[in-house]
Structure 1
Amino acid sequence: MHEYVDIIGRTVLSFIALLLIARLLGKQTISNMTFHDFATGITMGSIAANLAFNEKIQAWYLILALAVFTFISYLMSISALKFPLTRKWVAGVPTVVIDKGKILEGNMRKIKYTLDSLNQSLREKDIFNQEEVEYAILETNGKLSVKKKDEYLNVTKKDMHIKASNAFSFPVELIMDGKIMKKNLDENGVSEEWLIELIRHKGKVLSDIFYAVRSTSGKIVLDYYQDQLQHPIDIE
C-alpha cells in the first residue's frame, strides 16, 4: 500500500513541477519548438518520468536535477534574447527552400528536408501547384512560411476598394455547455435578459442551448443539444 501512495505522490509532484517550469520558461517553449525547446522538453520529460515512477532514485535528487536544468534553460533563453550569436546557435536560423519559384536543392539537403515534406507543407497552406510560390522559408520551429506570386495572391477588400465593415474584433462566447458566461456578457455589454429573450424567440429554453457565440459580424449563433439532423455523420 505504501508503494502505491508513494507513486501517486511522486506523479502528482512531477506534474506540478512540469507546470511550474512551463510557466517559468514562458509560452515560447510550447508554441515554437526550436532546437533548444526540443532538447529541453525531452530532457525534462525524462526527468519527470523518473520522478513519477523510478523509486530507485530519491525524489529530491530528481527535483534538484529539474531545478538545475530549468535554471540552465532559463539562462540560455535570456542569453538568446540579448546576444544574436547565441540565439543563432540555440534556436537555429530560417532556411530558404524556394527562391523566385525555384527549389533550392542544396539548402534542402543541408537541413535534411525532403520534397515530400515540402509538398505536404505547401498543401497545408492550400497550395497544390509549386508554380504559385515566389518564396518559401522553413522557420526554426519547422513550419513553412510562403509568399505567393502576385498573380496568385487572394483579393482583399482594399484591392476591391470596399470599405471595411465595423465588425467586432473577436467572437464572444455567451453560453458554453448550457451555462451562461456572465463575465463575458458583462465585459461586452450583453444583457442576460436580452439573451434569454432571444432564445425564447427561437422557441427554445436555456437548457436546450449547448453553445452560443456572438460572431465577429455581431450575429448570435446558437447550437442546440438536439440538432435534429436526419443523418448525422459519425466518424469511427
Structure 2
Amino acid sequence: MEVSAYFDIFWRTMSTLIVLFALTRLLGKKQLSQLSLFEYAVGITVGNIAAGVSIGLKDHFLPGIFSLFLWMIVPFLLRWASIKSRKFREWMLGKPTVVIENGKIQEDNLAKQKYSVADLMQLLRRKNVFSVADVEFAVLETSGDLSVLMKKEKQPPNAADLGLKPAPEKQPHTVILEGQVQEEELRKVGYNHVWLKTELEKLNVALENVYIGQVDSYGQLSVDIYDDQIQIPAGQERQLLLATIKKCQADLELFSLATDSKEAKAMYDKNAKRLEKMIVRLSRFLQP
C-alpha cells in the first residue's frame, strides 16, 4: 500500500474528529446517562459513519490499525494539553455555567447549554431539591453534573450551628477478613483476641463465618457474614449507656423532690441539670 494512502487516512481521521467535536459541543453539557434514546442512537450511528469515513477503505488491515491508533492518540493528546493549559481546557471543555442564582433560574444560560426547565428540575431532584426558591446558587459543571448550594435557612444544621464539637471520625479497621484475624489491624485499634472473641460471642457469630469484620472509630465491631439470611443483632452498648445516664438524671430529679433539705435539693438539681446537658451532647453519638 502506498504512503499517500496513509496520509489520506490521517487527514480523513483528523477532519472527522474535528467534525465530531463540533457536533458534541452542539449537544451541550449532557452526560451519557442524560441523553435520550434517540440522541444515544444518533451518537452510535455518527460514530460508525465517522469510522467508515476515516478509513475509507475495505479489506485492508494495516490502514484500519493506523486509523484506530489515531483515534486513540488524539484524545490522549487533547487531555494532556487540557491539563497543561487552562485556556485550552476552557476552549475544549467549556466553563461551568450558572443556571440558578438567588432562587432565580437563569433562562439564557440554561438555553445556551441546550437544557430545558424539565432537565434542570430532574437534576435538582437528584440532589433532593424540589423547590428552585430554596437554591442560593446552582452551577452546571463541564461534566454535565449540577452543583447546588442551598440557602442558609434551608441547609440542615451542623455541629458548629449547634455549638457541638463532634469527636473526630477515624478510618474503620478491618480486623477480620474471610474468617481470618488480621493481627496488624487488631493491634492498631488496641484490642486483642480476647476482646474480639467476646464481641463475636455477643453477636452470636463464629469467627470462621465472618466474611469481613470492622472496628469503627467508637470501638464497635460490625460484621458481615457469609450467610446473608442470618440477621446479626445490632450492638446495644451505646444505647444502654445513654439509657443509664438518663435514668441517673431522672433519679436525681426524684431525689430533689423527695428531700426537705434545701442544701440536698440544690445539690440534686445542680447535678441533674449537668447530666441533662451531658445527655444533649452525647445523644448524637450514643443513639443508633
Q: TM-score, normalised by structure 2?
A: 0.52
Instruction: Please identify, of 138-147 and 73-82, the stretch whose mean Cα deviation from structure 2 is larger.
Output: 73-82
Q: Deviations over 1:53-105 (max 9, x none)?
A: xx9553x6555444433332222122212322211121111111111110111
Instruction: Please identify, of 78-87 and 211-220, the stretch whose mean Cα deviation from structure 2 is larger.
Output: 211-220
SS across alignment from 2:168: coil
- The answer as to 2:220 corresponding to 1:219 is yes
Query: 1:125 — aligned with what?
Result: 127
Query: 2:261 — aligned with what?
Result: none
* Higher RCO (CA 8 Å, separation ≥ 6 residues): 1
SS across alignment from 1:134: strand
- Taking only the aligned residue pairs, the percentage that are identical comes to 26
- The answer as to 2:104 corresponding to 1:102 is yes
Query: 2:41 — aligned with what?
Result: none
Query: 1:208 — aligned with what?
Result: 209
SS across alignment from 1:79: helix
**Could you tell me how far 1:189 is from its partner in structure 2?**
4.7
CA distance in 1, matches of 2:207, 2:135: 50
CA distance in 1, matches of 2:75, 2:110: 29
SS across alignment from 1:199: helix
Number of residue pairs the alignment of both structures matches: 183
CA distance in 1, matches of 2:217, 2:79: 37
**Could you tell me how far 1:219 is from its partner in structure 2?**
2.1
Q: Which has the larger radius of gyration?
A: 2
CA distance in 2, matches of 1:150, 1:219: 35
CA distance in 2, matches of 1:64, 1:187: 56
CA RMSD, Structure 1 to Structure 2 (Å): 3.9
Please list every run of at least 4 consecutive aligned residues from structure 1 whose deviation after the TM superposition is greater than 6 angstroms: none
Letter of the 2:165 counterpart: K
Q: Aligned in 2, Cα 1:175/1:91: closer, same or farther, shift over 3 Å? A: farther
CA distance in 2, matches of 1:143, 1:83: 23
Query: 1:181-200 to 2 correspondence within 5 Å?
Result: 182=182, 185=185, 188-189=188-189, 193=193, 196-197=196-197, 198-200=199-201
Letter of the 1:89 counterpart: W
Contact 1:132 1:152 in 2 (8 A): yes
CA distance in 1, matches of 2:100, 2:151: 12
- The answer as to 2:73 corresponding to 1:71 is yes
Q: Return the structure number with greater helix share.
A: 2
SS across alignment from 1:159: coil
